[in-house]
Amino acid sequence: MKQIPRITLNPPGRRTFAVLALCSLLATSLTAATPDVWSVRDFGAKGDGKTDDTAAFQKALDAAAQAGGGTVSAGRGNFFFAGHLSVPVGVALEGIWKSVPAHNGLRDRGLPKPTDDGTTFLVTENAGQEDGAPFITLTHNSTLRGVVIYYPEQKTDDVPVPYPWAVAMRGKNPAVLSVELLNPYNGIDASANERHLIRDVHGQPLRRGVLVDGIYDIGRIENVHFNPWWSHKPKLFQWQMENGEAFLFGRSDWQYVFNTFCFGYKVGYRFLQTKAGLCNGNFLGIGADDCYTALVVDNCAPMGLLISNGEFVSFHGPDPTMVSVGTNNHGSVRFVNCAFWGPCNQIARLAGRGTTGFSDCIFVQWDRKKEGRHALQVESGTVIVRGCEFQENKPQIELGENVRRAVISDNVINGPARIANRSKGSVKIANNAEDAPKTP
């Protein structure tokens, strides 16, 4: 009879101990890799919309910093602030939102209000004092994420009360992610830092949306959209149209801006000279709708503003214009594959000593009052217009006597070409395809 081999097993206790030891080792490893989290409620925050939670939040933030960094969780609630906060080095202040929320309820659409759900910061400090301390200041490697910032004392149909900046970004690598700036007077001051990141931010800043200045190492702004979701009521919105500026750029070296939008401002994008200097950068997929002037260049760096795939619309205000380049500009501006429409006075009004170029762009509407205005009115400097489409049968380009150089070629024109050339400089006009004259 064939003998069956015996199989020797380890004693159950020894095997169980080995498995438990392995599990314990894995659990310890996973725990060590998980960032520490501090709850603001453990430090006395109430989140009831009435109690001042400023001190509790700051204690939690400081505790995280003393431990070497981590996450301070606000959780669900309406957190009232009579003061301001400083987020220390290596600390993230987070609410519950994983992507930026929307609150259109104040416009009577039946949707949730900011105090109905999520994490809402109710800001009240420094009403009437625009130069006061920012509500939240970010420092080295600190982050603000997943919250709604709301000024409950701001009225929906009146001239807005000034407040300081809602968020100030300082140090190296500060970040604002998935935040709703519902109704701040001033939104984000991204000045005097390095490598800032502003991503997935929506809302209705009333006076200024984002200010970038004093940036010597690349900053990034992505998916930032400003719309009148909080209030479209006449008195407030008219004030915003007459005073608001959505995006302002002073000194910034290699600024990157992607997929941004604004609606209902005096100026959509403004490039200005500050004490720190001028801006150059890459602007892809940017848009401005119903702004008195969609894009204004007071001055920019010689390295240039590279603006691609933009969409610009202007039709309100005393002189609705898509692009205005000022007399002080000496840098280069390039528009590539951009679209311009809306019943404006002119598409662009160009001056200064620099160069402005339009390549493969679409010009849809201009000369709304039929005054004989040209789509592009060039007073001075250098202009390049190549491969563009002029869709209306109206005057296309006017070159003033102070225009130094111009190249106008390979464009498609609806109707006859009407290019007024009074320039005393070097001008090349060639290969433009206009409609053939109609035969009697």
As a whole number, the mean pLDDT across the chain is: 92
* Burial of 380: CB neighbours in 10 Å, binned 0-12, 13-18, 19+: buried
**Domain extent at residue 343:** 244-440
Indicate the pLDDT class of residue 439, thresholds 50, 70 and 90. Answer: low
Helices and strands (H, E) in the chain, number of each type: 3, 38
Alpha helices (H) along 48-115 = 54-66
Is residue 393 situated within a structural domain? yes
pLDDT of residue 437: 73
Cα 366–370–373 angle (5° rounding)?
55
Is residue 34 situated within a structural domain? no
| Cα distances (Å, whole numbers) of residue 108 to 111, 115, 116, 229, 408 | 8, 15, 14, 11, 50
Number of domains present in the structure of the chain: 1
Give the C-alpha separation, 369 to 389, whole Å.
Answer: 21
Q: What's the rounded mean pLDDT across residues 432-439?
A: 82
Indicate the pLDDT class of residue 105, thresholds 50, 70 and 90. Answer: low
Count of other CB atoms within 10 angstroms of residue 325:
28
Is residue 280 situated within a structural domain? yes
Is residue 211 situated within a structural domain? no
Of 27 and 260, the structure prediction assigns the larger pLDDT to 260
Q: What's the rounded mean pLDDT across residues 399-421?
A: 98
Within 8 A by CB and 6+ apart from 94, the residues are 71, 72, 73, 74, 143, 144, 145, 146, 147
Instruction: State both tokens at 349.
Output: 């009004």
Is residue 268 situated within a structural domain? yes
Q: What's the rounded mean pLDDT across residues 259-280?
A: 98
Is residue 110 situated within a structural domain? no
Is residue 94 situated within a structural domain? no
Instruction: State both tokens at 408.
Output: 């106008």
pTM of the model: 0.91
pLDDT of residue 182: 97
Is residue 168 situated within a structural domain? no
Indicate the pLDDT class of residue 289, thresholds 50, 70 and 90. Answer: very high
